[in-house]
Amino acid sequence: MNDKPIGIFDSGIGGLTVAGEVMRQLPNENIIYFGDTVRFPYGPRSAEELKKFVFQIVEFLRGEEVKFIVIACNSASSAALEVAQEHFDIPIIGVVEPGARAAVQATRNRRIGVIGTQATILSSTYVKAVHAFDAGAKVFQQVTPELANFVENGELSGKRVEDAIKKYLNSLIEADMDALILGCTHYPLLNKTIQKIIGKEVVLISSAEEAAKEVGEMLARKSHTRSGQKIPCYRFISSGDGSKFLELGSRFLGREIKDVEKIKLG
Ligand code: DGL
C-alpha cells in the first residue's frame, strides 16, 4: 500500500483527459497534475528541448513525493520516455504504448491510423509501438498541427474545427483504416467531431483511457495502490495562466477545479 500521489503532466490541459480517466478508474488515488501551459505547445519543439522539459518536471514531481509518474503527453513521451526511465529511479509510463496496444487489439483489417503533433508523428514512436505488438500491421500517420491549439483555447466544435479535421483526415480515410489512434492527449476532447467526420465504423483509440488502465495495473501489481476508501486529494499546478486552466480544466474534467497553484520551472 502506498498513499503518495500519482504525478501526471502535459504541456497544458490536454493531459487532464488522462487525469480524468485515472480519477474515474482509480477513485481512491491522490493526484498531482502539472500543466506546462507557459511552454505550450510542445508539438513543434525539438526532442532535445522536450527532454529538458521532461527532466525538469519529473524532478519537480519527485520533490512533491509522487509514487509514480505518467507523461500524459504523446509529444513528450515520444521524445523522452526512454531517457527519463533510464535516468530516474521512479516508475514512469507514457501514453504511446497503451494506445498502440489497444489499436492492435481493436483493428480487424490491421490498418491503423495515427494523428498527432509534429513531435509525435516525426518520431514514428507509434509505428514502432504498433509493430512491437503486430509487425504486419499497416500504420498511416498524419500530423494535425492545429488541433491541440483548438482544444487548449476551448474550441471543440464548429466550422473551423470541422474543416481542419476534414483536411487532415482525408488521406487516412482513403487508406481504409478501421482504427484511429488519437495520438495527442488533447484530442479525446474532439472525439465527437472526429467520429462524425471519419464515420462510425472506425474505432477511435484514446490514449488517455488506455494509459489510465495501465496505471491501475501497474499500481496493483506493485502493491502500490492507496489503502482503504478515502477521499482523494487532487492538486493542480500550472506554469502559466491559471485562469484558463481553471475554466477549461473544470469543463474538461467534469468536476470543478477550485484552485490552481502556479510555479516557475527552469
Ligand atoms: N497533449 C500533447 C500531446 O499529447 C500535445 C499538445 C502540444 O502540442 O503541446 O502530444
38-73 tens-digit pLDDT? 999 999 999 999 999 999 999 999 999 999 999 999
* pLDDT, tens digit (0-9, with 9 covering 90-100), for 176-216: 999 999 999 999 999 999 999 999 999 999 988 889 999 99
Q: Which of 7-11, 106-110, 127-131, 249-253 has the lowest mean pLDDT?
A: 249-253
The CATH fold of domain 96-207: Rossmann fold (3.40.50)
CB contact set of 207 (below 8 Å; sequence gap of 6+): 18, 74, 95, 96, 98, 99, 181, 182, 183, 185
- Ligand 1 mean position, distance from CA 182 (Å): 11
Q: What are the phi and psi torsion angles at 78 (to 5°)?
A: -65, -40
The confidence score (pLDDT) of residue 188 equals 92
Tell me the pLDDT tens digit for each residue of 8-28.
Answer: 999 998 999 999 999 999 999
What gap in Å lies between CA 106 and CA 89, rounded to an integer?
34
The finding on whether 120 has its CB within 6 A of some atom of ligand 1 is: yes
Q: CA 242: distance to chain centroid?
A: 20
- Which atom of ligand 1 is the closest one to the Cα of 73? 4
Q: How far is CA 205 from CA 34, 187, 255, in A?
A: 24, 10, 23
The answer to whether the CB of 242 is under 6 A from ligand 1 is no
- The residues spanned by each domain of the chain are 6-94+209-262, 96-207
What ligand 1 atom has the least distance to the C-alpha of 152?
6
The reply to whether 6-94+209-262 and 96-207 are identical in fold is yes
β 6-10/31-35 pair status: parallel
117 lines ligand 1 (CB under 6 A): yes
Phi-psi region of 223 (alpha: psi -120 to 50; beta: other; left: phi over 0): left
The grid coordinates listed for 207 are 490514449
Running DSSP on this structure, what letter comes out for residue 240?
S
Q: 141 CB less than 6 Å from ligand 1?
A: no
Strands 92-93 and 31-35: unpaired
User: In which order are the strands placed within the sheet that holds 179-182?
Assistant: 138-143, 111-116, 179-182, 203-206
Just list the catalytic residues. 73, 184
Ligand 1 close to Cβ of residue 148 (< 6 A): yes
Q: What is the pTM of this model?
A: 0.95
State in Å: Cα 206 to ligand 1 middle: 13
Q: Which of 58-67, 109-118, 146-155 has the lowest mean pLDDT?
A: 146-155
What ligand 1 atom has the least distance to the C-alpha of 120?
10
Q: Ligand 1 centroid to 230 CA: how many Å? A: 32
Distance, in Å, from the CA atom of 62 to the CA atom of 35, rounded to the nearest integer, reads: 16
Record: fold of 6-94+209-262 = Rossmann fold (3.40.50)
Nearest 10 degrees: CA dihedral of 101, 104, 206, 198? 170
Specify which residues 205 forms β-bridges with.
181
* Residue 10, H or E segment: strand 6-10
Task: Give the Å distance between the CA of 73 and the centre of ligand 1.
Answer: 5
Q: Which secondary structure element, helix H or strand E, spans residue 9, and what is its range?
A: strand 6-10
